[in-house]
Structure 1
Amino acid sequence: MLSAAFTAFGQVFSPLLRGVLLKSVALAIALLVVMAIGLNALLQHAGTLPYPWLDTAVAILIGVGSLVGAIYLMPAASALVAGFFLDDVAEKIERTSYPNDPVGEAQPLGRSLIASLRFFGIVLVVNIGALFLLLVPGVNIVIFFVANAYLLSREYFELAAMRYRSPEEARALRQANAVPVFLAGLLIAPVLMVPILNLITPVYGTALMVHFHRRLAPVPGAGMGPGPLIEGRKASA
Structure 2
Amino acid sequence: MIIEAARLSGSNLLSAASRSVLFKSLGLTILLLIGLWFGLGELFAMTAMPWLEALLPGLPDWAGWAGTLAAIIAGIGLALVLALFIAPVTAAMAGLYLDEIAEVIEARDYPADQPGRPMPLGQSIRQSLGFLLVVGLGNLFALVLLIVPGINLVAFFVVNGYLLGREFFEFAAMRFMSPADAKRLRARNSTTVFFAGLIIAGFLSVPLLNLLTPMFAAGMMVHLNKMIAAKGGGLSRQWREA
Aligned equivalent of 1:163: 175
**CA–CA separation in structure 2 for the residues paired with 1:43 and 1:57:** 15
Aligned equivalent of 1:15: 16
> Out of 74, 79, 86, which is 1:74 matched to?
86
Is the 1:36–1:69 Cα contact (8 Å) retained in structure 2?
no
Work out the number of aligned pairs and report it. Answer: 227
**CA–CA separation in structure 1 for the residues paired with 2:142 and 2:73:** 18
**CA–CA separation in structure 1 for the residues paired with 2:200 and 2:43:** 30
Counterpart of 1:53 in structure 2: which amino acid?
W
Aligned equivalent of 1:147: 159
Is the 2:176–2:235 Cα contact (8 Å) retained in structure 1?
no
Which consecutive unaligned segments of at least 5 residues does structure 1 have?
A: 219-223
Deviation (angstroms), 1:125: 1.7
Aligned equivalent of 1:178: 190
Higher helix share: 2
Question: 1:7-34 deviations in whole A, cap 9, x for unaligned?
Answer: 1111111112122111111111111122
1:131 aligns with 2:143: yes
RMSD over aligned CA atoms reads: 2.0
**CA–CA separation in structure 1 for the residues paired with 2:67 and 2:166:** 43
Aligned equivalent of 1:221: none
> Out of 193, 206, 212, which is 2:224 matched to?
212
Identity of aligned residues (%): 42
CA change 1:136–1:227 in 2 (3 A) is closer
Deviation (angstroms), 1:133: 3.4
Structure 2 residue matching 1:217: 3-state secondary structure = helix
**CA–CA separation in structure 1 for the residues paired with 2:160 and 2:29:** 17
Which consecutive unaligned segments of at least 5 residues does structure 2 have?
A: 57-63
Aligned equivalent of 2:118: 106
Deviation (angstroms), 1:231: 6.4
Is the 1:73–1:128 Cα contact (8 Å) retained in structure 2?
no
Is the 1:191–1:201 Cα contact (8 Å) retained in structure 2?
yes
Counterpart of 1:230 in structure 2: which amino acid?
S
**CA–CA separation in structure 1 for the residues paired with 2:28 and 2:117:** 24
Deviation (angstroms), 1:172: 0.7
Counterpart of 1:40 in structure 2: which amino acid?
G
Structure 2 residue matching 1:134: 3-state secondary structure = helix
Aligned equivalent of 1:30: 31
Is the 2:85–2:136 Cα contact (8 Å) retained in structure 1?
yes
Is the 1:28–1:199 Cα contact (8 Å) retained in structure 2?
yes
Is the 2:41–2:78 Cα contact (8 Å) retained in structure 1?
yes
CA change 1:33–1:138 in 2 (3 A) is farther
**CA–CA separation in structure 2 for the residues paired with 1:113 and 1:229:** 24
Q: TM-score, normalised by structure 1?
A: 0.89
Structure 1 residue matching 2:146: 3-state secondary structure = coil
Counterpart of 2:211 in structure 1: which amino acid?
L
> Out of 108, 124, 134, which is 1:122 matched to?
134
Is the 2:225–2:234 Cα contact (8 Å) retained in structure 1?
no
Deviation (angstroms), 1:175: 0.9
Counterpart of 1:41 in structure 2: which amino acid?
E
**CA–CA separation in structure 1 for the residues paired with 2:152 and 2:138:** 11
Is the 1:36–1:70 Cα contact (8 Å) retained in structure 2?
yes
CA change 1:207–1:139 in 2 (3 A) is same
**CA–CA separation in structure 2 for the residues paired with 1:178 and 1:135:** 29
Is the 2:145–2:155 Cα contact (8 Å) retained in structure 1?
no
Deviation (angstroms), 1:228: 5.4
Question: 1:129-148 deviations in whole A, cap 9, x for unaligned?
Answer: 32343333332211111111
